[in-house]
Structure 1
Amino acid sequence: MAVKTIGQVLKEKRTELGLGLAEAEKISKVQKLYIVALETDDYKAMPSDFYVRAYLKQYAEKLGLNSDILLQAHESKSGISVEEEEELQDTYQFIKPSERFEEVEEEVPSWKYYLPIISLSATAIAIVAIVAVAVVLNRPAPSINSNGAAYSLSTSQNPTSSSPASKASSSSQPAEQNQVAVSGSGTALTVNLTNASQPVKMTFTASADADIVLSLTNTDQATAQEINASNPTLTATLAAAATSSAITVNAVAGLTMTINGKAVDLSAMTGPGTITVNVAAATTASS
């Protein structure tokens, strides 16, 4: 009977399946650095305990392990007793934790990794310089009148010549409802919804191979929710008096989001993080 940590159980199962870190990342949709953190029991490297539980469940299930037992071991801070010659799922049980860690060698990219980026940057700078020189060389010289003074002909209309009817039409035209603007990148995005119709509804959809855990504030779905192939869609309604909501997600690969039917571009978000939604309600257009 061998005493092993949760990380050792995960790593041995991955090794038994013949998977490298890159292959495990592709199969489980969990980033390589968080796989290393789980396999070395280095939970301080994770953003929060919420992500530890979410990624532990997701990674264990993709390896074919019983995620419920591993989560119970994590909650009780217990190790796992394993009979070496039998199947893991039939033999482990909870005991006192064993403090054993393995060093993980960090892969440092060589200078060749950055060569394509440097080449593309140099090419872009050269193109910009050529365009700037061409604009300067082809700029027309100013016309000279008979007195030697430079002049130009203005074709713009007198602003006072516009009709009262056209002014009234432009001032009374209402602004477009539910305008969505996205800013930020990496692990934090900000979504601004202006001239919003009520109620504000946010819809999240997961692709067939995605397993995504969401936690929302100020909505009718306040607790953590999971969307996957069996439950691919989640709709949350913003509380009537709320003007913002924070959505924490464990992954964005395979996730799509809409607000009041308008698509939200999540492409700038590269991994687990927070999507902050700010809402400005619709106002009556002036006459």
Structure 2
Amino acid sequence: MASINIGETLRKARIDKKISLDELQQRTKIQKRYLLAIEENDFHELPSDYYLRTFIRQYADEVNVDGNHLIDVLDGKDRPLPTYPELQTVDELRKNKHAENPTRARFRATLPMVVLGLVALAIISVVGYMTWLDHQETAIIPENSSVQVERSENTSSQAEKVSSSQPKPTVESSKPPEKPKMALAMENNTVNAATMKVDHAEKPLKLTFTGKERVWIGVQVNGALIYQYTLQPGESQTTELPADTAQALITIGMAKYADIKVNDQGLDFQPGDSLLKKDITLNIAYAA
């Protein structure tokens, strides 16, 4: 048995706000007979389960009622309270610390001394090796060394003159190849569904929705609803797809009442003047 009466809850909230059914019809764009059916809990009068859930949420938004809670009541679900793991007390943490293996504790205590000893041994070895090298070097300079130095200086100066007179090869700068731009292409289209290809997409893939009128939108990945929102006229909302998503399904409650951008590039899903729901499937290939 449901915890609350969905229709009665919405009707009471509407009356409390002094909103007539005609006025509610103008605000939500939902036909009056469907609004009456919801208030009387005649849910079978709605065209489909999708429209039932969408209309309940739209009705609830207008009268400041939690639409998601009403949908949970419709599905017969209760929201469980969150559970949190018990935190360890300070006494337990101290017991865990003192229960450490005594052998490991002794090893940790002596480790700094062992490291210092190894460092000191390395320093002594380096100093001894450098001292031995100093004794091996000779301080005797041959008598003709001055002549050899002069000749080497003359030879190096001539080589510099020759090298400076020769033209230096020019190095051509190579520009990195430009990345291909993202491309959107229609693969299949009907009044209620469209399939579109997204090539060379940059990660993460960002979807931006703008409402022309009040309209519900939803995004599904692998059959799971990852985003939903009811746009007001002129309102924009943005969401990102999970990393490496290869296919996404976008649902527009009334096709012509929303615009879509993919990574700031307009998505022409050809809504026409349709007031029906439209599903847009995106097949995504990312840039290398």
TM-score w.r.t. structure 1 length?
0.45
Q: Which has the higher contact order (CA 8 A, sep 6+)?
A: 1
Q: Which has the larger radius of gyration?
A: 2
TM-score of the aligned structures, taking structure 2 as reference length: 0.45
